[in-house]
């Protein structure tokens, strides 16, 4: 084939008017929201570190090594629990005395402090409520708003925990 | 991997890497970069805005859902345009097979049979979408491009609108480089012929 005829850059193919017209061709934009419509149908993968952890776990299970790992973990837990139980049983009196000491020196004061804090807070809240004069309807509205927010948050968390429903399109283009 | 806040300055390969890591913003960046070129290519081929949007969406969904299978040694733009072009060509082929005669079915021999099998034309008033399409694709050069064969259209658009080099166009279309040059040469010759009567006004 004659390269001069097929080469668009050759003298026979020069046409400034046509080139100008072609240069004036613009990019058209799709309708607004195009990006969102696409993302609704796209499944974004988990982060790579999580994919690696999952792949590793699957590999352990597939090759049987997972059972050894689980067995080892279970065995270690059982041995540790047994050792602690044996220690407690064999030294019951000493353990009892130690626990009493911890309770008296740390536990009870801490508990008393928490109770005092709760009581103090309740007193402060009560005094604020008594000092503010609001109508019953305002209080009701505030209460309803708080209830609505709680219900909405519960619903939102429930929705967020649902699995992704996006349709996965199989890629079938050739290279 | 550190994640930059602004992906607009990252290369395609970098954005793809972030997308593979599950970042939705990277997916959106890829769509933002290529939505106009892809949509323009398909729109000029199928000449229908709504259809072009559907096919463009289909293209991006295919590309993004297969992002983990993308091979970085090839240009991302080539991959996207290849899928877009295939989507448009597949539609045009299906449309060709599905086209009914306006004058009735091929086996219609009597007047009653012709009337029964003829394609019914609905309301002929232009919708706002039709008006927009007429405005966007109504210029002389757009109409001339619309009359080219699909392969020629793709070559001309990729070369003169997208500014892609010949070897990339050849890669996108899966054709030899010489064939791409021939197509562009012939497309230009056809465009010249179609625009010749209007040369004085241009």
> Is B20 inside any structural domain?
yes
Higher-confidence residue of B72 and A11: namely B72
Task: Look at residue B142 and tell me if it is in a domain.
Answer: yes
Closest residue of B to A21, CA-based? B141
- Burial category of B16 from C-beta neighbours within 10 Å (exposed 0-12, middle 13-18, buried 19 and up): buried
Question: Which residue, B42, B67, B94, sits at the end of a domain?
Answer: B94
Does residue B124 carry a pLDDT above 90? no
Quote ipTM for the complex: 0.75
Global pTM reads 0.61
- Final residue of a structural domain among B94, B110, B126: B94
Classify residue B121: in a domain, yes or no: no
Chain B contact present for A31, CB below 8 A: yes
Q: On the CB side of B165, how many CA atoms lie within 13 Å of its CA?
A: 3
Q: In angstroms, how far apart are the furthest CA atoms of chain B?
A: 74
User: Which CATH number belongs to the domain containing residue B59 in this structure?
Assistant: 1.10.1740.10
Domain ranges of chain A: 47-90
Residue B71 domain boundaries: 9-94
Label residue B160 exposed, middle or buried (CB < 10 Å: 0-12, 13-18, 19+): buried
- Kindly report, residue by residue over A60-94, the tens digit of the pLDDT: 777 777 777 778 888 888 888 888 888 888 888 88
Give the closest of B19, B39, B191 to A28, CB-based: B39
CB contact under 8 A, B188 and A44: no
Query: So what's the pLDDT on residue A4?
Result: 39
Q: For chain A, what's the residue count?
A: 175
The percent of chain A in helix, strand and coil, each rounded to the nearest 5, is 75, 0, 25
How many Å apart are CA A52 and CA A66, to the nearest integer?
A: 15
> Are B39 and A28 a contacting pair, CB within 8 Å?
yes
B23 touches chain A (CB under 8 A): yes
Provide mean pLDDT across the span B171-179: 95
In chain A, residues with a C-beta closer than 8 Å to the C-beta of B188 are 8, 13, 15, 18
Report if residue B69 sits inside a domain: yes
CATH of the domain at B193: 1.10.10.10
Domains held by chain B: number = 2
Query: In this complex, is the C-beta atom of B25 within 8 Å of any C-beta atom belonging to chain A?
Result: no
Indicate whether B123 belongs to any domain.
no
């Amino acid at each position: 084939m004659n390269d001069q005829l097929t080469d668009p850059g050759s003298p026979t193919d020069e046409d400034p008017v046509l080139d100008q017209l072609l240069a004036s061709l613009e990019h058209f934009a799709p309708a607004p929201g195009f990006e969102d419509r696409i993302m609704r149908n796209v499944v974004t993968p988990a982060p790579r570190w999580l994919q690696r952890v999952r792949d590793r776990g699957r590999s352990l299970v597939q090759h049987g090594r997972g059972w050894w790992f689980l067995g080892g973990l279970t065995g270690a837990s059982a041995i540790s629990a047994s050792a602690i139980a044996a220690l407690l049983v064999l030294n019951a009196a000493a353990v009892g005395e130690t626990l009493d000491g911890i309770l008296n020196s740390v536990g009870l004061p801490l508990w008393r402090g928490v109770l005092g804090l709760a009581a103090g807070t309740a007193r402060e809240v009560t005094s604020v409520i008594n000092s503010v004069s609001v109508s019953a309807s305002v209080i009701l509205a505030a209460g309803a708003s708080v209830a609505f927010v709680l219900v909405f948050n519960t619903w939102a968390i429930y929705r967020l925990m649902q699995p992704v429903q996006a349709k996965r399109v199989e890629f079938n283009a050739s290279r | 991997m550190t994640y930059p806040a602004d992906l607009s300055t990252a290369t395609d390969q970098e954005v793809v890497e972030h997308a593979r890591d599950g970042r939705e913003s990277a997916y959106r960046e890829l769509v933002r970069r290529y939505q106009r070129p892809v949509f323009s290519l398909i729109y000029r081929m199928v000449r229908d805005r709504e259809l072009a949007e559907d096919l463009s969406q289909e293209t991006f969904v295919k590309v993004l859902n297969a992002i983990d299978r993308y091979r970085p040694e090839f240009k991302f733009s080539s991959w996207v345009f290849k899928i877009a072009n295939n989507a448009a060509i597949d539609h045009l082929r299906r449309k060709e097979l599905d086209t009914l005669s306006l004058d009735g079915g091929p086996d219609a021999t009597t007047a009653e049979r012709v009337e029964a099998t003829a394609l019914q034309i609905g309301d002929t008033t232009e919708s706002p979408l039709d008006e927009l399409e007429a405005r966007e694709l109504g210029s002389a050069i757009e109409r001339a491009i619309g009359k080219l064969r699909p392969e020629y259209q793709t070559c001309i658009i990729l070369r003169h609108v997208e500014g892609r080099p010949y070897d990339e166009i050849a890669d996108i279309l899966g054709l030899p480089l010489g064939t791409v040059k021939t197509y562009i040469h012939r497309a230009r010759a056809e465009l010249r012929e179609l625009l010749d009567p209007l040369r004085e006004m241009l």
